[in-house]
């Protein structure tokens, strides 16, 4: 099981790096904040701590319980690793939404959809 957990590490690293790069781009170029090495190091440290907690939990879970069946679902340590990879994927998608300002575009589309349509009189009886 440790081998399976280790197989997820490159994907976890990609998620952390991708989220960090998107955060830097969004904060510096979109929000016009000054780049702060301190903030970058703090963010990377937070990612390492969170990732380590998931990895340690997965290893301990494997050693203590192995696989637990909950109805049709098998709860296994690789599910924990998959969940943190999905968490960083979700965080990256949120950053992409912020960069492309999709919430602003969506609100404009809603405004267009809410405007009443002009009624065209097609009465040709004149």
How is residue 72 written in tokens?
Answer: 């049709």
123: left (phi over 0), alpha (psi -120 to 50) or beta: beta
Alpha-carbon gap, residue 89 to 77, rounded angstroms: 19
Contacts 24+ apart (CB under 8 A), 2-6: 2/59, 2/62, 4/77, 4/78, 4/81, 5/55, 5/58, 5/59, 5/62, 5/77, 5/78, 5/81
Report yes or no: 77 and 4 within 8 Å, Cβ to Cβ.
yes
Tens digits of per-residue pLDDT, 54-64? 889 888 888 88
Positive or negative, the CA dihedral 89, 94, 99, 105 is positive
Contacts of 74 (CB under 8 A, 6+ apart): 67, 68
Tens digits of per-residue pLDDT, 31-87? 888 888 999 999 999 999 999 998 898 888 888 877 777 777 777 888 888 989 999
pTM for the whole structure: 0.70
Q: Is the pLDDT of residue 17 over 70?
A: yes
């Amino acid at each position: 099981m440790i081998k399976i957990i280790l197989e997820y590490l490159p994907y976890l690293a990609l998620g952390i790096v991708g989220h960090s790069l998107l955060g830097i781009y969004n904060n510096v170029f979109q929000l016009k904040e000054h780049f702060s090495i301190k903030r970058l190091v703090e963010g990377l440290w937070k990612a390492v701590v969170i990732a380590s907690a998931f990895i340690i939990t997965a290893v301990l879970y494997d050693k203590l319980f192995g696989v637990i069946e909950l109805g049709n679902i098998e709860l296994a340590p690789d599910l924990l690793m998959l969940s943190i990879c999905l968490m960083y994927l979700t965080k990256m998608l949120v950053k992409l939404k912020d960069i492309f300002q999709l919430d602003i575009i969506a609100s404009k589309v809603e405004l267009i959809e809410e405007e009443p349509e002009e009624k065209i009189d097609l009465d040709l009886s004149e």
